[in-house]
Amino acid sequence: MLSNLTVIDASSVLAGPSVATFFAEHGAKVIKIEHPSHKDVTRSWKLAKEDATSPVSAYFSSINYKKEYKSIDLKASEGIKRFYELISEADILITNFKHGDDVKFGITDKSLLELNSKLIIGKINGYGEESDRVAYDLILQAETGFMSMNGTPNSGPVKMPVALIDVLAAHHLKEAILIALYERTSSGLGKSVSVSLYDAAVSSLVNQASNYLMADHIPERIGSLHPNIAPYGEIFHTADNALITFAIGSNTHFEKLCGYLNLEVLLTEDIYSSNQHRVTNRLQLFEVLQSKIIRLNSDEIINAMIANNVPAGKIKNLEEVFRSPSAKALIREEVIDGVLTKRIASAISK
């Protein structure tokens, strides 16, 4: 699909490399540049059970795929020469340099675009192009509201178990690069596009941001519950000791759920007559639903909900997730530095 593109990945950690991997998955030639002695730090981010002597880690493998690896020291004149040779033939450059490094290395947007006017430069930074503050996903989750909302009333603030802000910023940068590629088809010219982790995080607050901006609502930690919808995110125990949850997004969903559980009487009660009323009375509603659900097995409930087009799911760990043929179909394998690596592909169907 993108086999006519050459991408230079001069980034590290998660966001930038995952963007480059996206292009590699879809056929682009991707060259990853690493310092000869200070390679991508995520090569060393290993679980306790991983091989300490391996040149790669599971973390590194997750966002580096189908890349050609080159060792280049951008502080050395020979390194800059080799880098410029690569750039002269490239379509896309991805970086996450620290503030001022582009000037220090002599690879500013201006100099790169003078060398290759068709080059698209995709840059990720932490807090904006003029900030030299070090940015890690955890700190962004803390400072953009995500941790304050995530968790339960008793847990205190909790970070997401994936580097969510990096993932979000990567998607934003992909969008920017794809737009620039489209514009280049008519202009013939490249450009520089930039995404900050901070802006990506704040822009991804979506409905929670509008709840605050329009209703002055500061979200509290309510676990998996949805502040605007009920029942939505409540976790129910079943007869087979499984955990399930529902996303009841409409009155029709609620009616079908009540019908299945023989709780049609709830449909006649004013306190459950609308979604807003159900949000107000969600604890009482949870207890009524749980009293019925605990008598049923998870599979029979989920199958019935699927048959009735009611959103419901069983809460699974990753071992259970990867028993699914659909999940298995997204696994991609590759040998990197003599090590068999595995990761999950992008969700875009070819």
- Threshold 0.85, pTM exceeds: yes
- Structure token digits, residue 288: 């009524």
- The chain-wide mean pLDDT, for the chain, equals 96
Which pLDDT value is given to residue 110? 96
280, part of any domain: yes
Q: Can you give the CATH number for the domain in which 283 is found?
A: 3.30.1540.10
Q: Are residues 247 and 165 in the same domain?
A: no
Q: Can you give the CATH number for the domain in which 89 is found?
A: 3.40.50.10540
Query: 154-181, pLDDT tens digit by residue?
Result: 999 999 999 999 999 999 999 999 999 9
Tally helices (H) and strands (E) across the chain: 16, 11
Q: Report the SS3 class of residue 120.
A: strand
Residue 212 CA to residue 144 CA, distance in Å, equals 13
Dump the DSSP string for 25-65. Answer: HTT-EEEEEE-SSS--GGGG---TTS-TT-S--HHHHHT--
338, part of any domain: no
> Could you tell me if residue 250 is left (phi over 0), alpha (psi between -120 and 50 degrees) or otherwise beta?
beta
Q: Are residues 34 and 140 in the same domain?
A: yes
Q: Are residues 188 and 62 in the same domain?
A: yes
Query: 247-259, pLDDT tens digit by residue?
Result: 999 999 999 999 9
Tell me, what amino acid is at 155? S
Residue 78: pLDDT above 90?
yes
Residue 94: pLDDT above 70?
yes
Residue 175 CA to residue 150 CA, distance in Å, equals 27
Report, as an integer, the average pLDDT of 116-126: 97
Dump the DSSP string for 168-212. Answer: HHHHHHHHHHHHHHHHHHHH---EEEEEEHHHHHHHTTHHHHHHH
342, part of any domain: no
Domain hosting 298: range is 232-321
Which of 57, 75, 62, 58 is closest to 14 using CA atoms?
A: 62
Which pLDDT value is given to residue 1? 77
Q: How many domains does the chain have?
A: 2
Q: Are strands 67-71 and 312-314 parallel, antiparallel or unpaired?
A: unpaired
Residue 350: pLDDT above 60?
no
Q: Which position among 73, 137, 166, 199 bears the catalytic label?
A: 166
Which of 203, 224, 249 is a domain's end point?
203
pLDDT band at 304 (very low <50, low <70, confident <90, very high): very high
Q: Are residues 266 and 187 in the same domain?
A: no
Does the annotation count 101 as an active-site position? Answer: no
Element (H, E) at 84: helix 77-88
Q: Are residues 24 and 169 in the same domain?
A: yes
